[in-house]
Chains A and B, each alone.
Chain A
Amino acid sequence: MTAITESMTQKLNAAFEGRINWRYFLQDNVTGSWYLAVWVVVLAAATVAYTINQMNVAPLTTIIILILWLVGLGFAIANGLFKKRTAIGSWLKTNLLGSVSNAILSLLLVLILAAAVRGIWSWAVTNATFDPELTKPEFRNPDGATWGVIPGAWELLMVGRLDREALPRVQMALGYIVVLGVISIGANVAGYLKKIRPLRSILLGLWAITPIIVYILLAGVSAEGDFINSKTLLIGEAVVVGLFLLLWWQRTVKFSVVNLVIWAAAWPVAYLIWRAIGKSEMFPPINVATWGGLMLTIIIAVSVIILSFPLGMVLALGRRSEIRGIPGWLLWPVAAILALWGLFVSTPSILGDIRNQADYVLAFWPILILGFAYLLQKMFQGNVVAAASTTFIEVIRGAPLITLLFMAIIMAPFFLSEGATLENVWAVIIGYSLFSSAYMAENIRGGLQALPKGQFEAADSLGLNTFQKMRFIILPQALRIVIPAIVGQFIGSFKSSSLVAIVGLFELLGMVAVIVSNPQWLGLRKELFVFAGVIYFIGSAVMSWYSRRLEAQLGVGER
C-alpha cells in the first residue's frame, strides 16, 4: 500500500517537475498583495458557504455543477501544465478559470445563476398556469405565474378600449405596413431596387403616404362639412404654389410648365380624394381617446419621430446659423426705447399698488429688456434666429418629459382659440414632439459639427446657395454620421412613450393598470409587466440591430 502511494507521489512529482513553480504560482494568485489575499479568502469562504447552502436546497444541480467545474478545472490545468492544448481547455483557461480567484468566482456565479434560473423557471413554468379561463384569484397558484391573463387580455393589451368593430381597420393598417415592409426588404435583398428605378420611387412614395393612410384607417375621415370648402382649397393651393416658387427661387427645382402643373394639381387632387373618402363614409371617424395598448405606444413613438425630425433639423440649422445678426446700432436704440416705454407705462402702475416686497422688484421688469439685448449681442452677435433656437433647445432639454406632457394637456386648452378643442392624444404627441425635436436638433448639430469645414467651403466655392448647399452637400453627409444617434433617440422615444401612462393615456403600461383592476385579472401585475418588458426589449433590440446594419451598409465612420 505504502509502495503504491510512494510511487504515486513520485509519479506526480515527476509529472509536475519543472512545469510549475509553486512559489510563483502562489505569488501570482494569492499572496501577491494583501488585498488580493483578502479577496481570495473572502471569495473562497463565501463560495464554500453558498455551496453548502445550495447542497441542501438543490443537491442534484449543485453536484452536477461541482463536477463540471472540477472537470473544467482539470482541462484548464492540463492545458497549462502538460501542453495538451484542447480547444475547450484553452477557452476555459482564458475566460473562466485563469486564476484562483477567477476559478472560485466562476463557480460562485454559476451556482447563483443556477439558483436564479431555478427560481424563475419554477415561477414562470413549473408552478405557472397558462389557461385564460383560470385567471380568477381562486384558481391561481400563489408561487407561480398566471400567464392566462395575456391571451385573456390580448385585445386590451394590443388596442386598448378601441371599438371592437374597428378592429378590421387596425388589421388593415397593420397588413398594409407589413406587406409594404416585406416587399421593400425583399426587393432590397434581391437587388431589384438598383435594377428597376421606378420601383424605388414607387416604394418611397408609398412609404411617404403611409402616415396618411394609417391616419385614415385608424382615425377616420369625417363626413361633416361641404364637399368643397373653397377657403381651404385656396389657402392650400397658395401654400403649395408659394412653396414651389420658393424652391424655384432657391434653384432646387426646375421651372417648367409640366412641373408647375404637377405641383399646382397636387393639392386639389389630394383634397378632393380626402373629401370623397369622408363623404363615402368608408372610414367613419373613430374617437381617438379610445386608442390604447401597444397600438397607441407605436402611434406615439412613430409620430414623434416623424414630427421631430424636420423640426429638429430646422432647430439645428437655426442654432448654427451664421447670418449677420441685428447690428448694435439698431438693437440698442430699439431695446432702450422699449425699456423706457415700459418704465413709463407699466412701472408706475405697479408701484402705485404695492402689495409686498416682491412687487418693488417686479415693477422694474422693463430693465430685463436691456438684459436680453445684452445677452443677444454678447452670446449670439445679435443673431435672433440662433438665439431663439438655442433658447428653445436648452429650455426643453432642461425640463423632464412629463412636465412637457402635462403642459401639453393642461395648458393647451388655455392657448386654443375660441371653440377649438384638442384631444389629449394629439396634445401629447405635439408636446412630446417638441421635446424630442430639441434632442434631435442636438444630434443633428453633432453631425453638422463633425463635417470638415472643407465641405462647406467647397460648396460655397461652387457657387451653391445656402439651400442647395444644405440639400446636396451638407445634410446627406451629416445625417449619415448621426444615424446611430437618431436610432438611439428613436429607441428612447419608443421606451419613453410609456410616460404618457402618467398623464392618463392608456398605452401599454397604462393598459396594465386598467387590466389589473378587472376582477378577473385582479393584481396580475408581474405577468403583465414581464410581457410589456419583453415587448419593449424585443422592439429596442431589433432597432439597435438594424441601426448597426444600416451603419455598416452606409459606411458610417469610413470616409
Chain B
Amino acid sequence: MAQNISAAPEQNIPFWRDERVLGVFAQIGFIIVVILGAKLLGTNFASNVNKLGESQFICRDGSFSYRCAYDFMGSEAGFDISDTALDYVNTDSYWYAFYMGLLNSLKVGLLGVILTTFVGLFVGIARLSSNWLVSKIALWYIELMRNTPLLLQLFFIYFGVLLALPLIQDASPVLGLPIFLTNRGLSIPAPKFMSAAAIWVAFLILGIIQFQVTWILLARQEEQTGRATNRWARGLIGFFIIVIAGWFISSSVSDTQGLLTSKASRIRDVGDIEKVMLNRTNLDYLDEIDTLSPEEVDAAALKICVLRDSASEPNLIRQIERIGAPYTVRRFDRPDQVTAAYVEGDCELFAASKAILAAERATLENPSAHLIVPVKESPIVWSVPRYDGTNIFGGSKLLPEFTALLIGLTIFYGATLAEIVRAGILSVSKGQSEAARALGLSESQRLRLVVLPQALKVIIPPLIGIFLSLMKDTSLGLAVGYPDMYQVTFTTMNQSGRAVQGILLLMVVYLTISLIFSIVLNWYNSRNVLVER
C-alpha cells in the first residue's frame, strides 16, 4: 500500500503509522511470541520427559540423549504381521516391521487409486447418462456415500458384510469360477513370477519400444506420403511376435526350478513321471486311470511336497496335470520340514528352486543317492486357489481387513471422484461438442479429441487432491485391523512405550507423501494451464 503513495507525503507519516515499520515490528513481536511459546512447551516437555518417560531416550549404553530417540527401532519387533509384501518374521527389527507396514499402506493406496479412478469415471459418466434410472441410481449412490462417514462404511463392509460371509468349511466357488469368498478373505487366481519372468519382462519392454518406433516411423511415412497406414495393426503384430518369442526363449534359457528325488524313483526328467506311473498302475495309458478304484489311485498317486505359497507348486502341478498323473500335495513352511518328511518317506518329490534343493540335499545322509531333476519353467504361472474340504490353497489371498479397506476407500472416493468427473465433463461448453459435430467427427472422436482433453484439465487437479486424501485415509486400516503403517506403528508404540517417536515418524512419512503429491500437482498445473479466453 505504501508503495502506491507518492514519495512526498511519506515524510509526514509518523513511524507508528508507517506500515513498513509496523510490519517489521509485528514480525519481530511474532517471532518473540513464537520463541517464548516454544520455550514454554520445551521446558514442560523436558520436565515431563524426566518424569514420565525418561526411558524413551535411553541409549544402548544406558546414557540419556535425545539423539537416541530412535535407537529402539533397531531392536527385535517381536510381533507378527498378518499380511506382508516381503518375507518378515517377528525377530526382524522394528524398522523392518515399519517398512512392511509402509508397503502395505502403499499397496492399499495404489490399488485404491486405480480402482477409484475406474469407479469414479464409470459413476460420473453414469450420472450423465440419458437413461433416467441409471442417472438416478448413480445420484443416490453418490449421495449415500458422501453423506455418511467413511469409517461407518468401513465398519459396515467389514463387520456387516465380510465377516458375515460363509465359514471356510462352507467355501464354494463363486459363480463357478476359481474364486472363494469366505470370512477369512477372498482367494483369487494370481500370477506367480518365476525367475524367467525377469528375462521375459525385458522382451516385453523390447516389444513396447518396437511398437513406439514402428508407430513413429509409420507416422513420419504417413506425413511424407499422405497415405494412411494401419499403425495399430503393424505395431501390435511386431509386439506380439517379440513377446511370444520372448516367452519361449526365457522359459528355455532359465533353469532354476528343480525336483529332489531319490535315484531309486527312476525319475530323471518330468516326462519320466508318465512311465513311472504306468509301471505303478499297470496301465497302458494314463487316460485309463478312471478304470481304477479310488483306493488304487490314491495308492499310486505321486507324493509331492512343496513350500507353502511357492511358485514351484503351480509350475510343477501344471506339467503333471498335462501328463495326467494322480498326485497329492503337502505344503510346509520351511525347507527343513520338507526334508524331514522326505527322509521319512512321506514325499517322493520335493519341488523348489535348485538353490534350496542343493542346500537341502547336502544335509541328507547320502547325497549321491538323490538327484535334482530340472523342471521346465514358464515366466509366469497362474496359481489357482483350490479347496480341499478344510482349507484353501494357492492363488492370492486377500484378507478381509484388506478387502474391507480397499472396497471402502474405493466406493467412498469413487463417489467423490464421480462428482468431479461430472463437473469436468459439464465444464466443456456445448459449443465445443457442436463444433466437433459440425466438423464431421464421429462420436468417439468427439469424446476422445475434443471433450475429454478439455475436461481432463479441469478434472486432474482435484483428482490429485482426492488421491492424496485416499493415501491419507489408508490410516483407517487401524479401525478394521489391517496391518498398515499405522497399525504397525501403534503396536510398536504400545510395545516399546515410545509414543512421541512413533507419532513423529508417521507425520514425517505422511508429509513426504503429500509433498510428492503436491510436487506432481504443481508440475501438472504448470504444464497444463487451461487457456482462458
Contacts and interface: CB of A to CB of B under 8 A. Distances in A.
Nearest to A92: B132
Given A385-B26, A509-B152, A403 B506 contact: yes
B27 interface: yes
B366 interface: no
B9 interface: no
B514 interface: yes
Contacts of B478: 402, 502
A399 B511 contact: yes
Nearest to B51: A418
Chain B contact surface mostly = helix
A399 B510 contact: yes
B59 interface: yes
Interface residues of B, number: 63
A406 B487 CA distance: 13
A350 B134 CA distance: 67
Interface string B117-153: 0000000000000111110010000011011111110
A248 B514 CA distance: 43
B475 A323 contact: no
Interface in A504-559: 509, 512, 525-526, 529, 532-533, 536-537, 540-541, 544
Nearest to B158: A525
B159 interface: yes
Contact of A413 (B1, B48, B134, B475): B48
Nearest to A105: B131
Interface in A208-228: none
Interface in A61-106: 94-96, 98, 102, 105-106
Nearest to A387: B27
A140 to B, nearest CB: 14
Interface string B464-505: 000000001101101100000010000001000001100100
B514 to A, nearest CB: 4
Contact of A355 (B34, B45, B67): B67
A327 B30 CA distance: 16
A541 B143 CA distance: 9
A540 B23 contact: no
Q: Among the interface residues B31, B44, B59, B515, which one has the most CB atoms of the partner chain A within 10 A?
A: B44
B237 interface: no
A489 interface: no
Nearest to A497: B149
B27 A385 contact: yes
B327 interface: no
Q: Among the interface residues B34, B146, B513, B518, which one has the most CB atoms of the partner chain A within 10 A?
A: B146
A498 B149 contact: yes
A496 interface: yes
Contact of A529 (B23, B130, B155): B155
A164 B360 CA distance: 69
A542 to B, nearest CB: 10
A106 B137 CA distance: 11
Given A96-B131, A102-B130, A413-B48, A499 B151 contact: yes
A113 B68 CA distance: 61
A411 interface: yes
Interface string A353-369: 00100010010000000
Nearest to B23: A323
Contacts of B150: 495
B346 interface: no
Given A109-B134, A403-B503, A403-B510, A525 B20 contact: no
Given A509-B149, A529-B156, A502 B479 contact: yes
Contact of B1 (A98, A460, A529): A460
B525 interface: no
Contacts of A136: none
Given A388-B34, A537-B148, A525 B160 contact: yes
A460 B4 CA distance: 10
Contact of B24 (A326, A403, A410, A417): A326
Contact of A414 (B130, B144, B159, B500): B500
B382 to A, nearest CB: 25
B19 A323 contact: yes
Contacts of B27: 323, 325-326, 383-385
Contact of B44 (A415, A499, A533): A415
B221 interface: no
A406 B507 CA distance: 11
Interface string A315-336: 0000000011111000000000
Interface in A295-344: 323-327
Interface string A155-166: 000000000000
A114 to B, nearest CB: 12
B47 interface: yes
B41 A415 contact: yes
Given A384-B30, A385-B30, A414-B52, A398 B137 contact: no
B413 to A, nearest CB: 14
Nearest to B137: A109
B20 A324 contact: yes
B155 A407 contact: no
Interface in A366-407: 383-385, 388, 394-395, 397-400, 402-403, 406-407
Interface string B13-34: 0000001101110111011001
Given A402-B478, A414-B44, A498-B149, 14 more contacts: A95-B133, A102-B130, A105-B131, A106-B133, A109-B134, A324-B19, A324-B23, A402-B476, A415-B45, A502-B478, A512-B155, A526-B156, A526-B159, A529-B156
20 contacts: A95-B131, A105-B133, A109-B134, A323-B26, A385-B30, A395-B511, A398-B513, A398-B514, A399-B510, A399-B514, A402-B486, A403-B475, A411-B500, A418-B44, A529-B155, A533-B152, A536-B148, A537-B144, A537-B147, A541-B143
Interface of B: 1, 4, 19-20, 22-24, 26-28, 30-31, 34, 40-41, 44-45, 47-49, 52-53, 59, 67-68, 130-134, 137, 143-144, 146-152, 155-156, 159-160, 472-473, 475-476, 478-479, 486, 493, 499-500, 503, 506-507, 510-511, 513-515, 518
Q: Which are the 6 A-B pairs with shortest beta-carbon distances?
A: A323-B23, A95-B132, A398-B514, A540-B147, A400-B472, A495-B149
